[in-house]
Chain A
Amino acid sequence: MQLFKLAYRNFFRNTRRSIISGISVALAITAIIFARSYIGGILQNMSGNVIRLISGHITITTKEYERRERLIPLSESIELSNDFYQSLPEEDIELISPRIKFGVLLGEDELSIPALGYALNPEKERDIAGLQKRLVEGTYLKSGERSAILGKDLAERLNMTVGDTMTVITRTAYDSPTGMNLVINGTFRTGIGGIDRSIFYIPLEVGQTLLDLEGRATEVIILVKDPGNAIQIAQSIRLGNDYSIVPFQYNNVLRYVNLAETIYSIFYLVVLLVACSAIANTMLMIVFERTKEIGMMKALGLNNLSIVGLLTIEAGIIGLVGSFLGTVVGTILSYWLKYEGIDISMVSSTASADLPFGPIIYLAPTPFIVISAFLLGLLITIIVALLPISRAIRINPAKALKTV
């Protein structure tokens, strides 16, 4: 108890030292919280894009379709019957959206630009693909209308703008040539090069007519209420052996997000390392700075255990205060940026003036990040202080008193 009081008073006695050390811990913790939230934000942004635009939480196709995916086999389609919909568990599902993906050649004179079309339900997909928010020019798709929205870069490659008519020629599910004239309602930008350069969207019924797939789709995208449960929900769906039901965690495209996550983890480790080093240095300095003081304490009769205890508690207090401060600042900063977002077009060299829904990263702090950072700060401070403290007790009082 006495030690605690002593530690407490020591803390305030040397405010300058306490402040400096407290601040360095605080800054380190703030940095850690920020870094993790920022990285989390980037990853969420990426996986969010994949989920919204490509896979949903669960993707249903036929097994043959999945196997021959590269060829985009329209003949492998799913009948959107009542039976089909009834096999899907109502309670866990937020939205069911059928889609048809098809490959086309586009071009003004020569059909030479390969592109990918998606026929989907405009109203349902407002919340899934969220394309309405990403429109750069023009208006959104309307069910039943022979319209299309194009990636901005695709429109540029075709030399077309809003209002132009685009002729799409492809093959139906029965291998017959088919085509349609579509009015370009609008153009969008997702920020993802591959999508903006080669993809366009049309209403589902229009696609079904074009491709001879009335009442059918090549894939059904499901959004669930609780993404964490996607795997279990996928496993619970009973549709028969011919179907492939894939939760997003197993989606091939998302593996690239896992890759990004791993790379960013390395960056995070570096941040952690430097932060720990900042704390470590501070603690080292403190202990060595007080060599004289420690010598004095020993001379006064304080035993080693007490000294270790005292110094450790002091380190603990610094850790506590600094961590707390850092956590508060870090949390406020991260949650603020969660709502405000960071507009990275300022630092990105590929910034474009006409981005309506630009590359804004919303930080993703979680209570876990906050609490673990706080605990980390506390722990690191104490652990890191232990080495110099253990050295400190070996100080020879006589020698120590002579140091400057």
Chain B
Amino acid sequence: MKITRKMCIVISVWVMLLFAQSGREILQRVDDNTVVTSSSYNAKMVISLSGTIREKRFTGYAEGKERAYMEFTYPARDKGTRFLKIEDEIWMYLPSVEKATKIAGHMLRQSMMGSDFSYDDIVENEELIELYDVELTGTDSIGEKECYVLELTAKVLDVNYYARKQWVDKDDYVTLKAELYAKSGKLMKEITVSEFQKIGRYRFPTSIRMENKLRQNTYTELILENIKLDIEIPTRIFTRAYLERK
């Protein structure tokens, strides 16, 4: 068969289409890389408010996206404050109160510990792929890394952020930057991942910066260390009893 130029073009286009990834596939890979079955870690949270810097530390456990436990260890005034998330409910324990308080309703909108993360940022439960329709809209580079640019639009009703724009690293399939939008298109939050660790098949973000775009001059940096993945976590850790233990 004579391979004409036209045929080459057609074939290459066809091949490209065959092997090109849809936005959906990219996102799926991101989810696969970052949603771990279980993890434990130490975290450092640096909160900057108009130049004033506060540092907090906590340890945490998580199972998938459904269960998470956090206990603050530093500074002294926050030591012993604990949070427990089970699916879409979140409970807070304060040592001086000795009884867990449920954070519900409009309290979820509040910032956690004064940071740019709100409680419902922590509570959001499902993988992105379940919540959003994805479209690959182009490429961009962040620093030296080449990224896919994905635009996500909510496909179910009860998501916190109606739309997201994600920059996904082409090599490692990790979200390096995300912009979170309200339904009207107003930019509400911006997440930047500046470091991640490769552990087994996972790509675990270890340095995350969150900016609440509605508040001027603030950002929060979350730095994770001592990360252990796919470990056995005793089920009792994700219970109210453990939360309220002395």
Taken residue by residue from 94 to 137, chain B's Cβ proximity to chain A (1 for < 8 Å, 0 otherwise) reads as 10111101001101000101100000000000000000000000
Interface residue A179 (Cβ < 8 Å from any Cβ of B) = yes
What is the total number of residues of chain A having a CB less than 8 Å from a CB of chain B?
Answer: 18
Q: B81 and A176: CB pair below 8 A?
A: yes
B54 touches A (CB below 8 Å): yes
- Given the known interface contacts A110-B105, A176-B114, the answer about A212 and B77 at a Cβ–Cβ threshold of 8 Å is yes
Mostly helix, strand, loop or mixed at chain B's interface?
A: mixed
In residues 143-196 of chain A, which contact B (Cβ within 8 Å)?
167, 169, 171-172, 174-181
Contact A175–B111 (Cβ < 8 Å): yes
- Which residue of the partner chain, among B97, B104, B114, contacts A169 with CB atoms under 8 Å? B97
Q: Chain A residues near B101: list those with CB within 8 A.
A: 111, 167, 169, 179
B46 in the interface (beta carbon within 8 A): no
B244 CB within 8 Å of chain A = no
Given contacts A174-B54, A176-B78, A179-B101, contact A169 B94 (CB under 8 A): yes
Chain B residues within an 8 Å CB radius of A169 = 94, 97, 101
Give 1 or 0 for each of A73-111: 1 = CB within 8 Å of chain B CB: 000000000000000000000000000000001000011
Q: How far is the CA of A178 from the CA of B97 in the complex (A)?
A: 8
Distance A68 CA – B111 CA, assembled complex (angstroms): 20
Q: Are B97 and A174 in contact (CB under 8 A)?
A: no
A110 touching B104, Cβ below 8 Å: yes
Bound state CA distance, A210 and B97, in angstroms? Answer: 11
Interface residues on B, range: 10 to 19
Query: Which chain B residue shows the least CB distance to A167?
Result: B97
Q: How many angstroms between the C-alpha atoms of A180 and B94 in the bound complex?
A: 8
Are A181 and B97 in contact, CB atoms less than 8 angstroms apart? yes
Given the contacts A111-B107, A167-B101, A212-B77, A178 and B113 also touching, CB distance less than 8 Å: no
B104 and A176 within 8 A (CB): no
Min CB distance, B104 to chain A, in Å? 7
Q: CB-CB < 8 A to B105: which residues of A?
A: 110, 112
Q: Is B113 a contact of A179 with CB atoms below 8 Å? A: no
Which of A105, A110, A172 is in CB contact (< 8 Å) with B77? A172
Within the assembled complex, what's the spacing in Å between the Cα atoms of A167 and B98?
10
What are 9 A-to-B residue pairs whose CB atoms are below 8 Å? A169-B94, A169-B101, A175-B111, A176-B81, A176-B113, A178-B96, A180-B97, A181-B96, A181-B99
